[in-house]
Structure 1
Amino acid sequence: MNMPANPFDLQEQPAIEPAFSGPGFYTNLSNEEYHSGPGISKSGLDHIAHCPSSLPWSREAPVDDEKLKAMDFGSALHCLLLEPHLFDEQFVEAPQFNLRTNDGKAAWEAFQAKHDGKIIMTADESRKLKIMQGSVMAHPTARWIFEQAGVNEASIYWTDQQTGELCRVRPDRILTDHHIIVDVKKVDGMDRFEKHIEEFRYHVQDAMYSEGYHRHFGVEPTFLFLAVSSTVGAGRYAVDVIEIEPDWKRRGHELFRQNLETYHQCKVNDDWLHIRKLERPAWAVRQDERRLS
């Protein structure tokens, strides 16, 4: 099979990559620079799909920083697999403190002060996280993903041809020799992943990330989910590498285009005053039908 030329071999990366300077492929933008930078992302389109008013709200609403410090297995696993060099900067395992004593309370407060800004894990959380990491590497396809040449946490910016809007995506991992995008997902039980796709609009992410890759590199990528269960079954944390079927991908692309057009119209008209309309849930309608039958 004749494969297209690898676009990563054709482009020259400068020794020191500049900060964002327009549409392109960036390997050195920090997570903070990406999220605070220009352009509409998939998470922004999620707000648009919910209600356009929630997009400016998400940018202006105050943040409870204390709640951000809570342990998040998804973020921790993501960092451990994709940015292990940053793990110790962001997370720390706490020893056991006897908080029933004054000395124990003082030691706990001193530990918190010493590691201010980091997410503090219990020994049990750290143990579970390491087992989840080991579960990923025990899965042949998942291990293959990390053995291939690749780029983690790169950012792609492009100008949408239909709306003229600047779009951006940040794939977890790109396998540069295979034109494969991989996104890591923590899932609360592997049997829930199908529901998660609809609930969290993973099919829209598939569509938008594939669009950005194709627009920049000229190659249609394969989009894979690396799903890791945070709940145990038979003493193990399940791992799957998943590609969704074409109809699901097509629906994701339809929603991506609809949401992007809505975002564009809101910007053009400077109209962010919207009211979210709720339909009666199907289960409530079915209950009424059963009562009347």
Structure 2
Amino acid sequence: MTNTTVLAGASAPAAGPAVQQPGIYQMTAEEYHADRGSLSSTGARKLLPPSCPAIFRHEQDNPPAPKKTFDFGHAAHHLVLGDGPDIDVLDFPNYLTKAAKAARDEARDMGAVPMLRHDYEQVEAMADAIRRHPLAGPLFTPGSGVAEQSIFWTDRDTGIKRKARPDWVKQLPGLTLCVDYKTAADASPDGVSKAVQDHGYHQQAAWYLDGLEAAGMADDGSRFIFVFQMKTAPYLVTVRELDPQSLDIGRAKNRRALRVYADCQRTGTWPDWTGPVEEIPSISLPVWAALRDSEEYLSE
């Protein structure tokens, strides 16, 4: 494991699960995720519907086991961004044999990402497609930005410690770009728009821009850029920037999540979707279904 170093004049954190001082840190992903004293964008999204604080608390206490889909994303980030854990390419067609499973587990124990050779060749083709893309290629030019710095800051309104780990920060004269690279089954513009809604990526964008501003990295302005890429040939790429209204909605949802988190910390209670009730609540059809069916069936 690499030593934790800190940038921007902040003191390096003391050993332990929580980073104590705001600042910009160069640390491993494992060290970043081990910090339980700060709220991340992913955590903030877990506090709000369709999730709830009880699910957030459970996942904090029971981190998910590694998945092949996570390995694929980590490997793609490694080749595109030039940072992250090493990739251990395994010469097996699948993980069905004991030898393949043992090699996979050994790679994980060493802190590497296990990849079957045919999967690795697919990731290499994806990285090549990124480099050839007229918009994404220049954004990720090696040496033109910094990959996966860890930013920690304190929220002024709630006092909650916050953190972010941008994929790629590219500082230009008078502008800072925060570029986020995502692999997806559907990288079409409609697919990207749906993914933003389904996964709360507008919250992520606003969260990261707030982090850059708090760290003093966006004094002259900042922009958040999504780079989505399909995981199947021909590995098409869509580069998009959120419109101001979507960012405003994301930031407003983040503010609510911070208030929910602060309240849960204060009370020690992490409620489900309903919370404490004395009577059984009612439930309705989705609005679109109620409007459709009311017109057809209640107008007779």
TM-score bracket, normalised by the shorter chain, equals 0.7 to 0.9
**Cα-to-partner distance string for 1:164-216 (whole Å, 9 max, x where unaligned):** 11111110110133411111111211221110000000100111111111122
Whole-angstrom CA distance in 2 between matches of 1:174 and 1:275: 36
For structure 1, which segment, 271-280 or 156-165, has the greater mean C-alpha deviation from structure 2 after superposition?
271-280
Give 1:94's match in structure 2, choosing from 84, 91, 100: 91
SS of residue in 2 equivalent to 1:190: coil
| Aligned pairs for 1:151-230 within 5 A | 151-177=146-172, 178-191=175-188, 192-217=191-216, 219=219, 220-230=221-231
Q: 1:112 to 1:238 in 2, by over 3 A?
A: closer
Q: Distance in 2 between matches of 1:174 and 1:116?
A: 28
Paired residues for 1:104-123 under 5 Å: 108=100, 111-112=103-104, 115=107, 117=109, 118-123=112-117
User: Are residue 239 (structure 1) and residue 232 (structure 2) matched?
Assistant: no
Alignment partner of 1:140: what SS?
coil
Q: 1:108 to 1:226 in 2, by over 3 A?
A: closer
Distance change in 2, residues 1:200/1:279 (3 Å): farther
* 8 Å Cα contact 1:172-1:184 kept in structure 2: yes
Q: Percent identity?
A: 28
- Which of 139, 159, 178 in structure 1 is aligned with 2:133? 139
CA distance in 1, matches of 2:268, 2:101: 48
What residue number does 1:52 align with?
A: 53
CA gap of 1:143–1:160, structure 2 versus 1, over 3 A, is: same
Instruction: Show the counterpart of 2:294.
Output: 289
Pairs within 5 Å for 1:69-88:
69-72=67-70, 73-84=72-83, 86-88=85-87
Normalising by structure 2, report the TM-score.
Answer: 0.78
Normalising by structure 1, report the TM-score. Answer: 0.80
Runs of 5+ unmatched residues, structure 1: 1-9, 100-104
Report the CA distance between 1:231 and its aligned residue. 3.3
1:253: how far off? Answer: 1.0
Gaps of 5+ in 2: 1-6, 276-282
Distance of aligned partners of 1:160 and 1:287 in 2 relative to their CA distance in 1, 3 Å threshold? same
Query: Following TM superposition, by how much is the alpha carbon of 1:110 offset from its aligned partner in structure 2, in angstroms?
Result: 6.2
Distance 1:58 1:129, change over 3 A: same
Secondary structure at the aligned position of 1:183 is classed as strand
Amino acid paired to 1:288: D
Partner of 2:279: none
Residues 71 and 120 of structure 1 are in contact (CA less than 8 Å); yes or no, is this contact kept in structure 2? no
Aligned counterpart in structure 1 of residue 33 of structure 2, from 9, 32, 35 = 35
Residue deviations 1:57-111 (CA, integer Å, cap 9, x gap): 1122364x4xx152543222112222457333xx3232448x8xxxxx5754664
The whole-number CA distance in structure 2 between the counterparts of 1:213 and 1:222 is 10
Deviates more, 1:238-247 or 1:270-279: 270-279
Letter in structure 2 aligned against 1:45: A
What do residues 105-157 of structure 1 show as CA deviations (whole Å, max 9, x unaligned)? 57546645664545543333222211111110011221211225211110111
Q: Number of matched residues?
A: 268
Higher percent of residues as helix: 1
Measure the CA separation in 2 of the matches of 1:200 and 1:268: 27
Counterpart Cα distance in 1 of 2:116 and 2:284: 42
Is the Cα contact below 8 Å between 2:130 and 2:237 reproduced in 1? Answer: yes
